[in-house]
Amino acid sequence: MKTFYVTTPIYYANSLPHLGHLYTMIVADAVARHKRQQGIETFFLTGTDEHGINIERAAERAGRTPKEQADYVVSYFKKMTAEFRLDTDHGGYDMFMRTSEPFHYEGVSELWRRAARAKTPKGKDAIYKGHYEGWFCAPCAAYKTEDEYAKPTEAGGSPTCLIHETPLDRISEESYFFRLSDYAEALLALYESRPGFVQPESRNNEVTAFVRGGLQDLSVSRLKTSVSWGVPVPDDPDHTMYVWFDALTNYITAIGFGNEERERAVGFEKFWPALHFVGKDILRFHAVYWPAFLMAAGVEQPRAIVAHGMWLDPNGRKMSKTLGNTVDLDVLSRHFPIDAIRYFCLREMVFGQDGRFGYEALIDRTNSDLASGLGNLSSRTLTMISRYADGRIPSGVISEDKLLLAKRTGVDTDETTISGFIEHARDQFRQHFEAFAFSKALETAWTVVARVDKMTSDARPWELAKDENQKQTLSAVLYRAAETLRWLCVLLYPVMPTATLEIWTQLGLANSPGSTGTPAGIDPAKLKWGELAEGTVIGEVKPLFPRIDKAKTMAEINEPEQEAGADGRGDRVSVEREHPLGVQATEANAVPNAPIRKETRPSPPMTSATEADAVPGAEGVTSFIDITDFTKVDLRVGEVLTAERIPKADKLLLLTVDIGEEKPRQILAGIAQYYEPEQLLGRKIAVVANLKPRKLRGYESQGMLLAASVGDEGKPVIATFTEDVPNGARLK
Ligand code: MSP
């Protein structure tokens, strides 16, 4: 059986998890899920790097032992991975590695011993004892050469690290060295013979240039008296292993190198070599040092080292605690669905390059691509199936005798036009995904969303529904949309595991007999158009990605003190998030960009001191009209035939409403923040039919619907009928 092994870096156990860590895990998680879909036995490893001077110091500052410090940080990482559904329980990583585990000590010692016995390609000892004199950056866990630090500003001072801007440690002590300088040719030959060993190509060029520039031997131990928290050098316990030798080796010790118990539990033989995902910040350690260590020890090279770019803030600055521009994972999980975060990370960052992360951009993408895009396509299709096809997946076949009729409506009677388009998109999606071009893969998937959305609108299902002779045409359109959704679930599962399973359930596929499992176990390459079974009873239709109210959410994010509930944990906010309501439902509210307060309050009634004010029980009513005034308003019963959002207008829905006239009316209603379009389909409502038409956002609104205005915010509740009423009936 084919196997696949994917890793993230193991994260330093001296600081709490942040967006950067989350990102690499999302990437590795998505790739692992994609492989599992193909039936490939996959092992996904992540974990923590727990040794070294930096952790020792962090522990000291916190008044803990290094192990206690590591336990503390690990508990946060585990909480984060569970919250973001990246852990084993949610189908994510298979193992959380910790370098403080005894089996790791055994494995690293074994690798060291093998390297220590080895000769370099030039016939010298690969590891030798010498004396190190130079500068060391504890946060980087790396020795720095002259071009990697800033010279001290005053005589006798320490130089500072160019990355961390912190003083370097002067080290002058006995040390073991790894004879890296003898491995340059062998490394260059490796890069040359294995295209794709370092990815993307631009990073491969960087690494190659670095190695061509000549390599210096690497100090791979510290005296125990300087650094005690680490793996002792075999047979020389006065030395502690260099933390990168120890850390990189986690990739093989986790699965059984040098330890029989782990070998039985996972299997080095079975899973190695791995694909390592890393940030570009640690590429050199992975693409130069690690392959050289493995060469010396005679262990097979990794499958590939794939480096991604870094997340910057919206202004393109590096994220740092000092600048206060880091992304707080608590804020992310409190305000955004996890799948929206996953989607954004993979869609927004062109893999390999740096990307900018901003909450506003995340809200915009969630609203446009997920709420209005995929989410809307799903709810719209399923709502129509429940309404026009009795809640069952209809047949996609148009019989010979109905073909001509169908053609007249403009519907393409050749199903292979759409299925061909989607098959091609699937192939492209797979190619991009396999090449880690996640952004392009998702762009491709969204061409499918747009195409099928348009196909559905162009077919005007509400009109087809009125004509018994067009029943098959309507069924075919709905079938195609539903089948497309099934395909999208499979393609998008690795990116959005929760949302795609939800659509799957709503399509009625979770428990239907003969169902092909779930998207988690379906290979996209094996999807066949038409396998969605006719007659499948669909599930309950629920909105997938509620629109996020940008102004409100940004205000909450920027004013964290208001977020906290009574217990300071922000419960009030998370409750509100499940009911993302915005403005109210009248034509007046449709004024773009008007402040909400003004929008939502009806204009005050004219007050005059008449006896009417004294009428008991008529609180709030301050003047009366007579019946002739009322009859001037032509109120009609209408049925909502279509409802959709308007691009760039957060508050407006565009409705077509049948009020018994020859043509349905087009009506704009400012209710988009309170109602999902699909909730309105088929609803009987009350319409002001003789309101002068007016244009809003380039659309003519030919009437107004009635809604109660509730609460301080003037939340709209649409007036409706509980009994059957014909379209166009007058209200009087
Ligand atoms: N412990 C070492 C890795 C040892 S692997 C054998 C280490 N740890 S770290 O905690 O600093 O994590 C670095 C990794 O976190 C990066 O390589 C990257 O995967 C991720 N990121 C940290 N900040 C990031 C961004 N701003 N953007 C994207 N990913 C980033 O280095």
User: Token digits for 140?
Assistant: 């980087």
Rounded distance from Cα 185 to ligand 1 centre (Å): 28
Active site residues per annotation: 18, 21, 137, 140, 161, 164, 318, 321
Q: What is the pLDDT of residues 84-141, one digit of tens each?
A: 999 999 999 999 999 999 999 999 999 999 999 999 999 999 999 999 999 999 888 8
Q: Whose CA is nearest to atom 7 of ligand 1?
A: 11
CA 638 to chain centre: 40
Q: Output the pLDDT for position 581.
A: 19
Rounded distance from Cα 309 to ligand 1 centre (Å): 11
Whether the per-residue pLDDT at 452 is higher than 60: the answer is yes
Q: Whose CA is nearest to atom 16 of ligand 1?
A: 279
Rounded distance from Cα 241 to ligand 1 centre (Å): 21
Is the CB of residue 310 below 6 angstroms from any atom belonging to ligand 1?
yes
Q: Output the pLDDT for position 576.
A: 24
Q: How buried is 238 (Cβ within 10 angstroms: 0-12 exposed, 13-18 middle, 19+ buried)?
A: exposed
Rounded distance from Cα 9 to ligand 1 centre (Å): 6
Whether the per-residue pLDDT at 515 is higher than 80: the answer is no
Is the CB of residue 465 below 6 angstroms from any atom belonging to ligand 1?
no
Q: Give mean pLDDT, residues 367-395.
A: 96
Q: What is the pLDDT of residues 367-376, one digit of tens each?
A: 999 999 999 9
- Which H, E and C letters describe 294-358, residue by residue? HHHHCCCCCCEEEEECCEECCCCCECCCCCCCCCCHHHHHHHCCHHHHHHHHHHHCCCCCCEECC
Q: Whose CA is nearest to atom 29 of ligand 1?
A: 20
Is the CB of residue 278 below 6 angstroms from any atom belonging to ligand 1?
yes
Is the CB of residue 10 below 6 angstroms from any atom belonging to ligand 1?
yes
Q: Which atom of ligand 1 is nearest to the CA of 8?
A: 19
Q: Output the pLDDT for position 560.
A: 55
Residue of 8, 281, 284 best suited for mutating to test ligand 1, as the one with most atoms within 8 Å of CB: 281
Contact (Cβ atoms closer than 8 angstroms) between residue 506 and residue 378: yes
Rounded distance from Cα 408 to ligand 1 centre (Å): 59
Residue of 282, 283, 286, 353 best suited for mutating to test ligand 1, as the one with most atoms within 8 Å of CB: 282
pTM (global) more than 0.75: yes
Q: Output the pLDDT for position 650.
A: 83
Whether the per-residue pLDDT at 597 is higher than 80: the answer is no
Q: Output the pLDDT for position 139.
A: 87
Rounded distance from Cα 20 to ligand 1 centre (Å): 7
Q: Give mean pLDDT, residues 380-385.
A: 96
Rounded distance from Cα 359 to ligand 1 centre (Å): 21
Q: Output the pLDDT for position 516.
A: 61
Question: Which residue type does 407 have?
Answer: K
* Structure-token match 């991975």, residue found: 81
Rounded distance, CA 481 to CA 494, Å? 21
Rounded distance from Cα 680 to ligand 1 centre (Å): 47
Q: How many CA atoms lie within 13 A of 8 on its CB side?
A: 31
Q: Which atom of ligand 1 is nearest to the CA of 290?
A: 6
pLDDT classification of 709: cutoffs 50, 70, 90: confident
Nearest to 49 by CA among 235, 324, 243: 243
Is the CB of residue 281 below 6 angstroms from any atom belonging to ligand 1?
yes
How many helices and strands in the chain, by DSSP H and E? 28, 27
Rounded distance, CA 294 to CA 112, Å? 10
Q: Output the pLDDT for position 562.
A: 42
Q: Output the pLDDT for position 714.
A: 81
Q: Which atom of ligand 1 is nearest to the CA of 9?
A: 5
Among 282-286, 349-353, 562-566, 702-706, the minimum mean pLDDT is found in 562-566
Q: Give mean pLDDT, residues 595-607.
A: 29
Q: Whose CA is nearest to atom 21 of ligand 1?
A: 20
Is the CB of residue 50 below 6 angstroms from any atom belonging to ligand 1?
no
Q: Output the pLDDT for position 401.
A: 94
Is the CB of residue 82 below 6 angstroms from any atom belonging to ligand 1?
no
Residue of 6, 11, 48, 346 best suited for mutating to test ligand 1, as the one with most atoms within 8 Å of CB: 11
pLDDT classification of 323: cutoffs 50, 70, 90: confident
pLDDT classification of 663: cutoffs 50, 70, 90: confident
Q: Give mean pLDDT, residues 62-83.
A: 95
Is the CB of residue 143 below 6 angstroms from any atom belonging to ligand 1?
no
Among 50-64, 195-209, 510-524, 579-593, the minimum mean pLDDT is found in 579-593
Q: Output the pLDDT for position 78.
A: 97
Q: What is the pLDDT of residues 137-185, one digit of tens each?
A: 988 888 888 888 999 888 888 999 988 888 999 999 999 999 999 999 9
Is the CB of residue 313 below 6 angstroms from any atom belonging to ligand 1?
no
- Give the dihedral sign, CA 682/686/688/689: positive
Q: Rounded mean pLDDT of the chain?
A: 88
Q: Could you give the residue ranges of the DSSP H alpha helices within 155-301? A: 184-193, 201-212, 243-248, 250-253, 260-265, 268-271, 283-284, 290-297
Rounded distance from Cα 289 to ligand 1 centre (Å): 17
Which range of 175-179, 575-579, 712-716 scores highest in mean pLDDT? It is: 175-179
Q: Which atom of ligand 1 is nearest to the CA of 48?
A: 1
Strand partners, 143: 136
pLDDT classification of 1: cutoffs 50, 70, 90: confident
Is the CB of residue 26 below 6 angstroms from any atom belonging to ligand 1?
no
